[in-house]
């Protein structure tokens, strides 16, 4: 019997027979831009960003800050690391720093990710506004990345710059380039002079001007900077411990030409800097002849692999088979060697006059042509595009544990770039962007399809190094446009089977996992369900969502502590400065949205409102900045925490997703049924929907969440459809809908969608939605006394510098409805701002730098009704439930009498249980009878 084919092989064979879907186009007011076809499995469909225009309000204000940042930012700064990696001119651009550069955390091993985010942000900005400035930036970036990919595919080429004399060659930092000289370059000469003009652009120690050797035992080198930052020449046949050296006295200046020369004659070696002898050793016993013919003869590269490659320009490198005199070296300062008494080097002479190609001619007459090379190997494979070498991806394949200083999530970064390119194509219809994206997937498929399943499973399970973000979602989206079977096969190669199988079985294995490494995986698996029909993907995603919400969710909608999940149900026990990584909220919103397309369970949109109106809005600072997007990494829930809007020097993953969030706030305000028979209003947000298919507009006029409701007005024409209005789960009473002033029949249920039956809507029809707010608390799952305050959808935070939880009582003047708001005092002229016990409470979504308290300690020491104190201590049961808790659990009360009846029955029960004395019980009842209440 023939051996069974692996599951992946069978899948790929099946996929090769799938038909390619046609590319679809959506008409816009600007140009025909491609769209990702909506999966047939979606029972709802989103509108495009261009179809929903935000009106004045908190979302528009936050978005304007981000739009201005993106519009003004020089994208050449982002392209710097890509161009450098390809050996192209960076035009003097300076990378933004932080994670997006060579000097950031973990040696810049995540560089390139932020460029992808920025492309997505620009694409969303252009799709929303039609502002050509964003399209121009997109085209600049796509054009540059196309040049980068082409450069990576070939051998390195000369980068000609202005030299000390004529032209010079520049090794751009990050290009990993060096010049390889022939083995005979030293010629076995016992006496020698080596001379070079250098213009270093970076101050890394141990960068070599030249290094000739066999290994790390037998060599001679000239370092532009030694461990003390000054030039050093050394020669040895016994490794570092046997070096005979010459050390300079001062560091070479950056971005300025300096001349270095070394002479050896007999027992004397001399180091010259700019014509002056700065070091002399008269006890040398080694010279090039003692080393013999050496294998590695390099300009700009060290025989010690950990040493950095020289970054800067090289001009006029000469080697003479004698020691030049001091006068001859002085003469080299002002003229090319060929115009001085010394003449060109007789062993080797390179003036770097080349402006094309990848070799340098030797003018010594010996014909020792030099070749430009990269330390990380030959040209990249077709389709590869990154700001660092393929080795990052290849090394991951043999790793068994994570080490982000060596390999930091290369497929995560690939996802951001891939997503940015796909979004660029969708926004501008630039075929170059689609070609780059498709090529990246071709390269990944060629790389990953060769690996055994066991290797893939190990890779994707490695913390940090194996993180791949939402790459599966983007690959499936790309496949829906290209129809390429290998693209869908590639998406399947990211299956993390143990996670999928556990979640499909509803087995919670999330404790200890890195949160944002796993959340975006599931958006991809939902899309794989759409593409393949394999139900385990969708089942796993739904169950996973339920493991996070509410079991690992903070009140603001965020999740994770120091990027990780702790034990299920532990909220109070994880409060810290590192709660709620902003990327987690971004990805949970995406997952919630996608699940809602399949299953219109209102819980998904309830979560969406919670996280969007609180954490996501609150993660963006309310301040303009041309340099940074000002978005939190960890939002922090520790008492007195001050939000950091420029974390880790900027350009983090969360600032990237924050840029995306702020330019797509409108993407889930409205959905439509797949057959366009119904319009879903998910969020109450000032906005105008242009429903071209129906020939109508729907405009929401509201100051929500400052206003407790919204007015929707139909415009443009007439159309028939059903209207589905979300009733938030917190809207437990008073939700009302009128059409043209007449009440719509039906009983709205909290946590549902209220249906206005299908009718032919005409221009001018008006729908008024009333959504009464009330102040309520949500208790931490593991400590009911630790609570967070909500007024309608808005999380209210105390602004106080104390680092201990604020003690808060809320029953003192509670309304008969159960609304706790009357216990707070409104701040005049500042909607949604209140004071309590001298502390201001304000919306979480305000992006200030005030110290905040998202959670407070509930403290109701006395039984108080209507601000009347009974002078009776508020007793508690062993589980922490107090007498007042049990009384107010019966709210709303129709009138004062209903409340008093509840008080009397509860008191009697507690007296009978021995939890309250008869005398104190009577005081409580009397106080309740005499108090005055807010309705």
Which DSSP string corresponds to 595-662? HHHH---HHHHHHHHHIIIIIIHHTB-SS--SS---B-SB---STTB---SSGGGS--HHHHHHHHHH
Note the pLDDT tens digit of each residue in 700-721.
Answer: 999 999 999 999 999 999 999 9
pLDDT at 32 over 90: no
d(CA 702, CA 878): 46
Residue 23 is predicted with a pLDDT of: 32
pLDDT digit string (tens) for 717-755?
Answer: 999 999 999 999 999 999 999 999 999 999 999 999 999
Peptide bond into 892 cis (omega under 30): yes
pLDDT score of 33? 57
pLDDT of residue 762: 98
Whether the Cβ atoms of residue 558 and residue 581 lie closer than 8 Å to each other: yes
For residue 883, pLDDT beyond 90:
yes
Q: What is the pTM of this model?
A: 0.93
Amino acid 644: pLDDT:
97
Describe the chain by its helix, strand, coil percentages, rounded to 5: 30, 25, 45
* pLDDT given for residue 191 in this prediction: 97
pLDDT category of residue 435 using cuts at 50, 70 and 90:
very high
- What is the predicted pLDDT for the residue at 300? 98
- The tens digit of pLDDT for each residue in 801-842 reads 999 999 999 999 999 999 999 999 999 999 999 999 999 999
Summarize the confidence of residues 229-250 as an average pLDDT.
98
User: Residue 17: is its pLDDT beyond 50?
Assistant: no
559's CB contacts (< 8 A; 6+ apart) are 515, 548, 552, 553, 565, 580, 584, 585, 588
Residue 409 structure tokens:
């999530």
Q: Largest Cα–Cα distance of the chain, in whole Å?
A: 115
Q: What is the mean pLDDT of residues 288-294?
A: 95
880 pLDDT tier (thresholds 50, 70, 90)? confident
For the chain, the C-alpha Rg in angstroms (whole number) is 34
Domain positions in the chain are 73-154+389-491, 160-374, 669-704+709-770, 864-935
| The predicted structure's pLDDT at residue 34 | 67
Q: Could you please state the CATH topology (level 3) that the domain comprising 669-704+709-770 is classified under.
A: Immunoglobulin-like (2.60.40)
Write down the pLDDT at residue 165: 95
pLDDT at 5 over 80: no
List the structure tokens of 686.
């000032």
Residue 11 is predicted with a pLDDT of 35
Looking at residue 649, its pLDDT comes to: 85
Q: Is residue 379's pLDDT more than 70?
A: yes
Does residue 1 or residue 581 have the better pLDDT? Answer: 581
In tens, the pLDDT along 616-659 reads: 999 999 999 999 999 999 999 999 999 999 998 889 999 999 99
pLDDT tens-digit map of 741-797: 999 999 999 999 999 999 999 999 999 999 999 999 999 999 999 999 999 999 999
Nearest residue to 101 via CA among 650, 682, 756 = 650
Cis preceding linkage at 705, omega within 30:
yes
Instruction: State the CB neighbour count (10 A cutoff) for residue 542.
Output: 20
Please return the burial class of 713, using the count of CB atoms within 10 Å of its CB with bins 0-12, 13-18 and 19+.
middle
Distance CA(371)–CA(357), nearest Å, equals 10
- The three-state (H, E, C) secondary structure of 258-317, written as one string: EEEEEEEECCEEEEEECCEEEEEECCCCCCHHHHCCCCEEEECCCCCCCCCCCCEEEEEE
Give the fold, CATH level 3, of 160-374: Jelly Rolls (2.60.120)
Cβ atoms of 902 and 893 within 8 Å: the answer is yes
Dump pLDDT digits (tens) for 452-478.
999 999 999 999 999 999 999 999 999
For all residues of the chain together, what is the average pLDDT?
Answer: 95
pLDDT class of 293 with cuts at 50, 70, 90: very high
pLDDT at 107: 86
- H/E run at residue 671: strand 670-673
Picking from 800, 799, 797, 801, the residue whose alpha carbon sits closest to that of residue 789 is: 797
Dist CA 348 CA 369 (whole Å): 9
Q: In the predicted model, is pLDDT for residue 897 greater than 60? A: yes
- 434 against 29, higher pLDDT: 434
Provide the CB-side half-sphere exposure for 75 (13 A, CA): 23
pLDDT at 406: 94
Q: What is the pLDDT of residue 1?
A: 35
Judge whether 461 and 496 are in contact, CB under 8 Å: yes
pLDDT at residue 423 tops 60: yes
Residue 27 has pLDDT above 80, yes or no: no
The lowest-confidence range among 31-45, 168-182, 352-366 is: 31-45
Least confident range of 9-13, 75-79, 574-578, 884-888: 9-13
Q: What is the mean pLDDT of residues 355-382?
A: 95
Secondary structure element (H or E) that encloses residue 715, with its range:
strand 709-715
pLDDT digits (tens, 9 = 90+) for 514-538: 999 999 999 999 999 999 999 999 9
The tokens for 491 are 């998406």
Q: Tell me: the pLDDT tens digits for 103-146?
A: 889 989 999 999 999 999 999 999 999 999 999 999 999 999 99
- pLDDT (0 to 100) of residue 242: 97
Task: Tell me the percentage of the chain whose pLDDT exceeds 70.
Answer: 96
């Amino acid at each position: 019997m023939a051996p069974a084919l692996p599951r992946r092989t069978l899948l790929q064979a099946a996929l090769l027979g799938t038909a390619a879907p046609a590319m679809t186009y959506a008409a816009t007011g600007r140009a025909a831009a491609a769209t990702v076809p909506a999966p047939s499995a979606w029972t709802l469909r989103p509108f495009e960003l261009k179809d929903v225009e935000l009106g004045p309000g908190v979302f528009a204000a936050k978005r304007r800050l981000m739009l201005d940042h993106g519009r003004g930012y020089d994208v050449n700064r982002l392209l710097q690391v890509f161009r450098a990696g390809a050996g192209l001119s960076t035009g003097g651009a300076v990378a933004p720093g932080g994670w997006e550069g060579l000097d950031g955390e973990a040696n810049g091993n995540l560089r390139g990710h932020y460029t992808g985010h920025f492309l997505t942000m620009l694409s969303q900005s252009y799709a929303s506004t039609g502002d050509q400035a964003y399209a121009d930036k997109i085209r600049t970036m796509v054009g540059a990345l196309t040049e980068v990919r082409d450069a990576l595919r070939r051998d390195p080429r000369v980068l000609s710059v202005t030299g000390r004399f004529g032209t010079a060659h520049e090794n751009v930092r990050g290009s990993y380039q060096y010049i390889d000289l022939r083995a005979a370059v030293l010629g076995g000469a016992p006496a020698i002079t080596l001379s070079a003009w250098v213009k270093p652009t970076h101050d890394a120690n141990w960068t070599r001007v030249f290094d000739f050797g066999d290994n790390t035992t037998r060599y001679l080198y000239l370092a532009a900077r030694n461990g003390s930052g000054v030039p050093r020449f050394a020669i040895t046949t016994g490794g570092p411990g046997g070096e005979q050296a010459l050390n300079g006295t001062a560091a070479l200046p950056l971005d300025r030409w300096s001349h270095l020369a070394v002479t050896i004659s007999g027992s004397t070696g001399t180091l010259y800097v700019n014509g002056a002898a700065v070091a002399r050793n008269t006890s040398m016993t080694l010279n090039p002849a003692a080393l013999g013919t050496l294998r590695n003869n390099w300009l700009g590269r060290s025989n010690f692999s950990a040493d950095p490659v020289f970054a800067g320009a090289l001009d006029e490198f000469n080697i003479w088979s004698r020691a030049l005199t001091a006068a001859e070296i002085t003469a080299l300062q002002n003229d090319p060697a060929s115009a001085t008494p010394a003449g060109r080097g007789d062993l080797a002479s390179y003036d770097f006059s080349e402006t094309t190609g990848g070799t340098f001619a030797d003018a010594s007459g010996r014909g020792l042509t030099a070749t430009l090379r990269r330390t990380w190997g030959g040209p990249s494979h077709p389709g590869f595009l990154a700001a660092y070498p393929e080795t990052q991806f290849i090394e991951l394949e043999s790793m068994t544990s994570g080490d982000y200083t060596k390999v930091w999530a290369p497929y995560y970064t690939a996802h951001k770039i891939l997503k940015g390119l796909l979004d660029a194509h969708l926004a501008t219809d630039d075929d170059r962007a689609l070609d780059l994206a498709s090529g990246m997937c071709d390269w990944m498929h060629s790389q990953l399809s060769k690996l055994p399943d066991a290797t893939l499973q190990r890779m994707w399970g490695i913390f940090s190094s194996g993180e791949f973000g939402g790459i599966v979602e983007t690959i499936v989206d790309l496949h829906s446009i290209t129809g390429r079977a290998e693209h869908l096969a590639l998406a399947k190669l990211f299956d993390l089977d143990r996670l999928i199988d556990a979640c499909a079985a509803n087995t919670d294995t999330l404790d200890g996992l890195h949160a944002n490494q796993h959340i975006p995986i599931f958006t991809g698996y939902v899309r794989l369900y759409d593409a393949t029909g394999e139900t385990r993907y969708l089942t796993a995603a739904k169950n996973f969502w339920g493991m996070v919400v509410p079991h690992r969710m903070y009140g603001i909608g965020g999740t994770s502590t120091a990027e990780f999940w702790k034990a299920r149900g532990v909220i109070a026990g994880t409060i810290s400065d590192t709660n709620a990584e902003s990327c987690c909220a971004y990805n949970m919103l995406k997952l919630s949205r996608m699940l809602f397309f399949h299953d219109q369970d209102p819980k998904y949109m309830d979560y969406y409102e919670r996280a969007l109106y609180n954490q996501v809005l609150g993660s963006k600072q309310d301040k303009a900045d041309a340099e940074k997007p000002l978005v939190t990494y960890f939002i922090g829930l520790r008492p007195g925490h001050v939000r950091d809007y420029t974390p880790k020097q900027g350009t983090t993953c969360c600032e990237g997703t924050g840029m995306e969030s702020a330019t797509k706030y409108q993407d889930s305000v409205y959905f439509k049924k797949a057959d366009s028979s119904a319009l879903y209003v998910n969020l109450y947000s000032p906005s105008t929907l242009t429903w071209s298919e129906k020939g109508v507009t729907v405009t929401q006029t509201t100051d929500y969440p400052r206003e407790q409701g919204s007015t929707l007005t139909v415009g443009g024409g007439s159309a028939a459809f059903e209207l589905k209005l979300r009733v938030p789960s917190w809207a437990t009473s008073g939700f009302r809908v009128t059409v043209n002033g007449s009440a719509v029949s039906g009983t709205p249920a909290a946590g549902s969608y209220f249906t206005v039956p299908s009718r032919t809507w005409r221009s001018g029809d008006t729908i008024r939605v009333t959504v009464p707010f009330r102040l309520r608390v949500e208790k931490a799952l593991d400590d009911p006394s630790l609570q967070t305050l909500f007024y309608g959808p808005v999380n209210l935070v105390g602004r106080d510098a104390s680092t201990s939880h604020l003690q808060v009582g809320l029953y003192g003047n509670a309304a008969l409805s159960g609304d706790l708001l009357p216990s707070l005092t409104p701040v005049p002229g500042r909607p949604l701002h209140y004071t309590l016990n001298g502390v201001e409470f304000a919306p979480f979504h305000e992006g200030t730098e005030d110290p905040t308290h998202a959670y407070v300690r509930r403290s109701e020491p006395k039984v108080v009704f209507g601000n009347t104190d009974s002078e009776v201590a508020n007793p508690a049961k062993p589980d922490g439930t107090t007498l007042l808790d049990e009384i107010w659990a019966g709210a709303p009360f129709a009138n004062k009498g209903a409340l008093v009846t509840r008080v009397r029955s509860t008191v009697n029960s507690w007296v009978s249980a021995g939890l309250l004395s008869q005398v104190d019980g009577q005081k409580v009842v009397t106080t309740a009878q005499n108090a005055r209440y807010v309705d």
